[in-house]
Amino acid sequence: MTDIALRKTASWRDYYEMCKPRVVMMMVLTSIIGMFLAVPGMVPIDILLWGNTGIALVASAGAVINHLIDYRVDTVMQRTLKRPIPQGKVTPTQALLFACTICLTGMAILLFLVNPLSAWLTLASFVGYAIIYTGYLKRATPQNIVIGGLSGAMPPLLGWTAVTGSIDSGGLLLVLIIFAWTPPHFWPLAIHRKRDYAKTDIPMLPVTHGDAITKLHILLYTIIMVIVSILP
């Protein structure tokens, strides 16, 4: 298929899908929660608007990079087979340019309209997810989702720092709660999709250690999450 044909078949919906909108909306929600927990009163409207816009754009860029790095794997897994890049609707080059554009836009918003600390923490989260987790950890260790989950747990702290301009214990506690929640949220899906992961040689915990060990880990992290959630 030629680039011209690809451009004709690609639509805004394909780019929107690569942004993983439901995941990004959940991240924005936790960012908003972090903002409102950071201050006793109302969050400034400009910070609420621009902070979450910048975070959403950079998070969307990370999702697009995830699609880009994983597109060969996506052609094998039933759950991801119909994504835009495996379907030939968007080329890898187009995906990369789109990711760079929205990442730079989001970073500019955070740097100039929010504060530098929030911007750099958001960039660190982007690198952690898109580069370190997707590009390396996912294929390197059964604990990939645990280590890489730190990036996905960052949005409450990003919202917190957008308002306060500082890293405080309250924001870090919110990160810890979501960090502990991530494995028991993700591993049941990994059990369900174990055959797909096995075909792609991705060492998810159910593939390498079996369902029983994975369920034990789910229980342990659920207990940790409950304990962390009731910390003062």
Degrees to nearest 5, angle at CA 142 with 198 and 26: 95
Containing 188, the helix (H) or strand (E) segment is helix 169-192
pLDDT at 2: 46
Q: What is the mean pLDDT of the chain?
A: 94
What does the block give as tokens for 71?
Answer: 């597109």
174 and 159 in contact (C-beta within 8 Å)?
no
Separation of alpha carbons 26 and 40, rounded Å: 23
pLDDT at 77: 87
Separation of alpha carbons 75 and 41, rounded Å: 49
For the segment 13-30, what is each residue's pLDDT rounded down to a tens digit?
999 999 999 999 999 999
Q: Counting runs of H as helices and runs of E as strands, what totals does the chain give?
A: 13, 0
pLDDT at 4: 44
**What pTM, to 2 d.p., does this model score?**
0.92
Q: DSSP class of residue 75?
A: T
**E runs forming strands in the chain:** none
pLDDT at 178: 97
Q: How does pLDDT run along the chain (232 residues), one tens digit per residue? A: 444 444 557 899 999 999 999 999 999 999 999 999 999 999 999 999 999 999 999 999 999 999 999 999 999 888 888 999 999 999 999 999 999 999 999 999 999 999 999 999 999 999 999 999 999 999 999 999 999 999 999 999 999 999 999 999 999 999 999 999 999 999 999 999 999 898 888 999 999 999 999 999 999 999 999 999 998 7
Give the chain's domains with CATH numbers: 3-229 (1.10.357.140)
Q: DSSP class of residue 202?
A: -
